């Protein structure tokens, strides 16, 4: 029976732990001279509706380092759901490749790909969740702090797909997650409810705040993301008026305390959600975090494609 990765909410704590352990193992193996060709003869179709530096390069290099092959399919080549139906694309690609990674606008597109494809489907990003980023963030925190349970993570900014995946990630691993979002830009209530349900089994806690400085007090990690995601460009000017109190800058870092570090999934709109001084400062994990997209996703590829 095939397995997909559409949302972290589909995993249980043991599966998350196993993926973290495998990612750490694969990263160490690469550093020691290279990964074994455990995905030799395996192929991954990478379907893109949205462009991405990290998603494309990390999946493509991940497959290469594991002995497999990745095929990039640009938006115009399929025009998913328009030139061809999602169901037809899924059934055709499944005849050619061993797995499909899709970076889409509407979450239902990746759900339909998984429904109709006979091979594993990986959500490389949708408007609802970003599970590969969530796994990357867990790997980075585990690597840097040596634990996940009890870590206090504070998200500041827009209640978007990245926050949704962080809610699930924290809930599955026993973390404390505080999120500070402006009124009208909260995460979806159904996501918060689902994360709260998952948290009951792990002892995780989820807290909501409006005031960013109050939210970050005593936190271990401050996390932010762009104020305007792809597809929301028409809202950019309005959002620039709403979000300045949520900028991650030296003042917010001071409010958090000397222990706090900063994460951002990138790309960053420097001068908006984060300043240059913080992004490039000694307490920034941004580029170690970006590197870990490769290792976290390799763990997913091995789990889903090796068979």
Query: In residues, how long is the chain?
Result: 307
Strand partners, 84: 80
Greatest Cα pair distance in the chain: 55
**Which residue is catalytic, options 54, 107, 130, 152?**
130
- Domain 8-130+293-305 - what CATH class? alpha beta
Could you tell me which of 143, 134, 130 has the C-alpha nearest to residue 285?
143
What local confidence, expressed as pLDDT, does residue 228 receive?
Answer: 86
Nearest one of 71, 75, 173, 140 to 292, comparing CA atoms:
140
Q: Catalytic residue among 98, 107, 265, 297, which?
A: 265
| Helix intervals (H) in the chain | 13-31, 53-65, 75-78, 86-96, 107-116, 131-145, 161-173, 189-199, 212-216, 236-242, 250-256, 276-279, 286-305
- DSSP 8-state class, residue 49: S
Quick one: CATH architecture of 131-289? Answer: 3-Layer(aba) Sandwich (3.40)
Q: Strands 205-209 and 176-180, how do they pair?
A: parallel
pLDDT (tens digit per residue) in 226-246:
998 767 787 888 999 999 999
Q: Spot the catalytic one: 137, 225, 247, 295.
A: 225
Is 240 assigned a catalytic role?
Answer: no
Please name the residues in contact with 156: beta carbons below 8 A apart, sequence gap of 6 or more.
179, 180, 212, 215, 216, 222, 223, 224, 246, 248, 252
Which pLDDT belongs to residue 233? Answer: 80
Q: Which parts of the chain have pLDDT scores under 50?
A: none
User: What φ, ψ does residue 292 adopt, rounded to 5°?
Assistant: -70, -10
CB atoms within 10 A of CB 28: 10
Q: Which listed residue (49, 133, 142, 297) is catalytic?
A: 133
Encoded tokens for 107 = 């979450």
Which of 54, 107, 293, 295 is flagged as catalytic?
293
pLDDT of residue 293: 98
At residue 157, the pLDDT reads 98
Tens of pLDDT along 63-89? 999 999 999 999 888 878 778 899 999
Which residue ranges make up each domain of the chain? Answer: 8-130+293-305, 131-289
pLDDT for 60: 98
Answer yes or no: 133 catalytic: yes
Q: Residue 13 and residue 15: Cα distance in Å, rounded?
A: 5
Residues 6+ positions from 180 with CB-CB distance below 8 Å: 154, 155, 156, 157, 208, 209, 210, 211, 212, 214, 215, 216, 246
115 φ, ψ (degrees, to nearest 5): -65, -40
Known active-site residue 103? yes
pTM listed for this prediction: 0.97
Shared fold status for 8-130+293-305 and 131-289: yes
What's residue 246's pLDDT?
98
With tokens 């990612």, the residue in question is 23
Q: Which long-range contacts (CB under 8 A, 24 or more apart) does 107-111 make?
A: 109/49, 109/80, 109/81, 110/6, 111/6
| pLDDT (0 to 100) of residue 110 | 98
What values do phi and psi take at 116, rounded to 5?
Answer: -95, -20
The tokens of 293 are what?
């997209």
């Amino acid at each position: 029976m095939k397995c997909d990765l559409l949302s972290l909410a589909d995993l249980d704590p043991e599966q998350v732990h196993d993926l973290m352990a495998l990612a750490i193992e694969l990263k160490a193996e690469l550093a020691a001279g290279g990964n074994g060709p455990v995905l030799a003869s395996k192929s991954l179709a990478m379907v893109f509706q949205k462009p991405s530096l990290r998603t494309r390069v990390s999946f493509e290099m991940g497959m290469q380092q594991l002995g497999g092959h990745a095929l990039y399919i640009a938006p115009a080549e399929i025009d998913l759901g328009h030139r061809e139906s999602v169901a037809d694309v899924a059934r055709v690609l499944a005849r050619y490749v061993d797995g499909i990674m899709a970076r889409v606008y509407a979450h239902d597109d990746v759900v339909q790909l998984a429904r109709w494809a006979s091979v594993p489907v990986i959500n490389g990003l949708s408007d609802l969740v970003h599970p590969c980023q969530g796994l990357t963030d867990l790997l980075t925190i585990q690597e840097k702090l040596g634990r996940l349970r009890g870590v206090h993570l504070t998200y500041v900014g827009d209640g978007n797909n990245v926050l949704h995946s962080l809610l699930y990630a924290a809930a599955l691993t026993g973390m404390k997650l505080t999120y500070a979002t402006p009124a009208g830009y909260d995460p979806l209530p159904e996501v918060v409810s689902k994360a709260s349900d998952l948290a009951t089994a792990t002892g995780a806690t989820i807290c909501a705040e409006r005031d960013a400085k109050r939210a970050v007090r005593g936190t271990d990690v401050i996390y932010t993301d762009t104020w305007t995601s792809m597809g929301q460009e028409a809202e950019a000017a309005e959002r620039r008026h709403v979000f300045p109190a949520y900028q991650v800058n030296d003042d917010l870092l001071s409010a958090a305390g000397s222990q706090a570090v900063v994460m951002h999934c990138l790309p960053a709109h420097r001068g908006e959600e984060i300043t240059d001084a913080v992004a490039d400062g000694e307490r920034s994990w941004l580029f170690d975090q970006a590197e870990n997209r490769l290792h976290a996703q390799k763990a997913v590829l091995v789990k889903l494609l090796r068979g």
